[in-house]
Amino acid sequence: MLLLYIKRSHGPRCSVSDLLKHRYLIFSGTSLQNCRMMTMSLIWGVLVAVCCCLWLITGIRRRHPGEPPLDNGPLPYLGCALQFGANPLKFLRAKQKKVGNIFTCKIVGKYVHFLTNPFSFHTVMRHGKHFDWKKFHFTTAAKVFGHRSIDPNDGNTTENMHQTFIKTLQGDALHSLTENMMENLQHVLKPSVPPQENPAPWVTDGLYSFCYRVMFEAGYLTLFGKELNSNKDLQKQKAQRAIYLENFKEFDKIFPALVAGLPIHVFKSAYNAREKLAEALLHKNLQKRDKISELVTLRMFLNDTQSTFDDMEKAKTHLAVLWAAQANTIPATFWSLFQTIRSPEALKAAVEEVHNVLKNAGQKVSFDGKPIVLTQAQLNDMPVLDSIIKESIRLSSASMNVRAAKEDFILHLEDGSYSIRKDDVIALYPPLVHLDPEIYPDPLTFKYNRYLDENGKTKTNFYCNGLKLKYYYLPFGSGLTKCPGRIFAIYEIKEFLILMLSYFELELVDRQPRCPPLDQSRAGLGILPPTNDIDFRYRLKCL
């Protein structure tokens, strides 16, 4: 075959010596090419080997005397991230069983010390002077929302964000915030025209989609107010809020990837959604709105007077507020309503409590009368709804309480003393407590009255190994890292449940539905949403 090819290439007068000479050149060229390929392969092999050696020398941390057991994980940089992300609870329980109540794992370049003994949590709080709990949150916020750091130490602003939240989400400021949320929920839920049919027709919807839509719209109006002359062109305004909702969903969908360090420009649609949400929150647009919350009004003032942020960065700090107010409240609302409808005992007890509270408050449920108004004291006196919400959150929360070490120090625990290095992270993972059968018998089962004592009042005594626990419920963080908006979030959910149980008949399409799995991709961020929606039916009651 080779001879025929050479003959055709050189014509009919090619001699044997020419053939041999040409054949030598062909094979010489082939050998030279093979040599070059082997050389390049050797060079690449050496480079890979050198990189592996460098990683072994500098990338793998060595455990020093007095430090917790260490696991660098199987992968460079990622460490144990994939195993942890697949099932955090299973991973941490296996580690705890193998090495004890404190251990260190490399996760995405950080060394994280996990504490799994709930009796050690209060000791961590006492070491507060060694921790910087803001650093992680400030860095993550800047990366995710696209503004410069809001840490006053970085020189972009002098605002103390935590104090702003405390001032505007707790105490006296909470009264108007709660009242406005109740008003906006009724604005979203109640029909503009009373039903003509009696009984009203059933409407089928996805329960999570329904909760998402209602809570987002009412929450947005509560924080950022209504457009001036809001009685004009109501359909156009509602359509605009629907666009905000879709943009929020698109952005929130890739939130875990952004926290993990991926740049938002990889996700073009999410990037566009974020920018559009921020545009709506530009100060020039917010100034066209009425009844803006004290939180946003104060933040606008502080952004203008105490920061060097440009207009878009200011808007993106408001977007961070919007996300913090919605991202966990919405799935918590879904789980609370789902578990209530799913459990006949919970539904009966909740309806009875709501009826009694409204009756004692002199509130009448109607479609054309005055809206329902409840004081904070009346909302606080609802232990059944409190227990339902707590139990729903206990089963679905997967927040991570983290603190970064400001310096090398010794952490003294009940189990012993451990050396902690500067910039290491101390992490508490609440599901280890929330799903511990020693603390909560039959922990995977929803029990609406789990947080009620024998007198029907709020239960606060929980035990582990016969000892009373101080930290038995931690979905909102602990110590200084506790969410400043947690009280308002519970009020929001409670108000939603009150209105749903007052105005609507509710039932699940599948009378014996399986509880949808939790979306573990958001582990560490708060309340986990369901992986799939649940169909339900609702219709207005005959009032």
- Output the tens digit of pLDDT for each of the chain's 543 residues: 333 333 334 444 445 455 344 444 444 555 556 656 666 666 666 565 554 455 444 568 999 999 999 999 999 999 999 999 889 999 999 999 999 999 999 998 999 999 999 999 988 888 888 888 787 889 999 999 999 999 999 999 999 999 999 999 999 999 999 999 999 999 999 876 666 777 889 999 999 999 999 999 999 999 999 988 766 677 888 889 999 999 999 999 999 999 988 999 999 999 999 999 999 999 999 999 999 999 999 999 999 999 999 999 999 999 999 999 999 999 999 999 999 999 999 999 999 999 999 999 999 888 777 899 999 999 999 999 999 999 999 999 999 999 999 999 999 998 899 999 999 999 999 999 999 999 999 999 999 999 999 999 999 999 999 999 999 999 998 877 789 999 999 999 999 999 999 999 999 999 888 899 999 999 989 999 999 999 999 999 987
In 281-328, alpha helices (H): 283-286, 294-306, 311-326
Per-residue pLDDT at 21 = 47
Residue 537 β-bridge partners: 204, 507
Contact assessment for residue 207 and residue 537, using Cβ atoms and an 8 Å cutoff: no
Calpha distance 414→419 (Å, rounded): 14
Could you please report the per-residue DSSP string of 447-479?
-TTTTB-TTSSBP---EETTEE-S-S--TT--G
Contact assessment for residue 483 and residue 476, using Cβ atoms and an 8 Å cutoff: yes
Instruction: Establish whether domains 62-137+400-435 and 157-399+436-540 are of one fold.
Output: no
Q: Residues marked as binding for heme?
A: 483
The CATH number corresponding to 157-399+436-540 among 1.10.630.10, 1.10.375.10, 3.30.70.1150, 3.30.390.50 equals: 1.10.630.10
Could you please report the per-residue DSSP string of 356-381?
HHHHHTT----SSSPPP---HHHHHS
Q: Is the dihedral of CA 318, 320, 325, 326 positive or negative?
A: positive
Of 118, 120, 116, the closest CA to residue 463 belongs to 118
Contact assessment for residue 388 and residue 352, using Cβ atoms and an 8 Å cutoff: no
Per-residue pLDDT at 234 = 77
Calpha distance 9→494 (Å, rounded): 88
Q: Say which residues have a Cβ less than 8 Å from residue 323's Cβ, sequence separation at least 6.
A: 145, 248, 251, 252, 255
Q: Is the dihedral of CA 177, 181, 183, 184 positive or negative?
A: positive
Apex 121 CA angle, 118 and 125, nearest 5: 170
User: What's the whole-model pTM score?
Assistant: 0.88
Per-residue pLDDT at 198 = 79
Q: Say which residues have a Cβ less than 8 Å from residue 235's Cβ, sequence separation at least 6.
A: none
Write out the two tokens for 417.
């003393």
Q: Residues marked as binding?
A: 143, 328, 483
Calpha distance 266→316 (Å, rounded): 19
Question: What's the CATH number for 62-137+400-435?
Answer: 3.30.43.20
Report the b/e string of 11-27 with b at 16+ CB within 10 A. Answer: eeeeeeeeeeeeeeeee
Per-residue pLDDT at 227 = 87
| Residues counted in the chain | 543
Name the amino acid, one letter, at 302: L
Calpha distance 128→117 (Å, rounded): 18
Domain borders along the chain are 62-137+400-435, 157-399+436-540
Per-residue pLDDT at 332 = 98
Calpha distance 515→374 (Å, rounded): 32
Per-residue pLDDT at 48 = 53
Contact assessment for residue 527 and residue 335, using Cβ atoms and an 8 Å cutoff: yes
Contact assessment for residue 202 and residue 538, using Cβ atoms and an 8 Å cutoff: yes
Q: Residues marked as binding for substrate?
A: 143, 328
Q: What is the CA radius of gyration of the chain?
A: 30
Apex 28 CA angle, 27 and 30, nearest 5: 60
3-state secondary structure of 7: helix
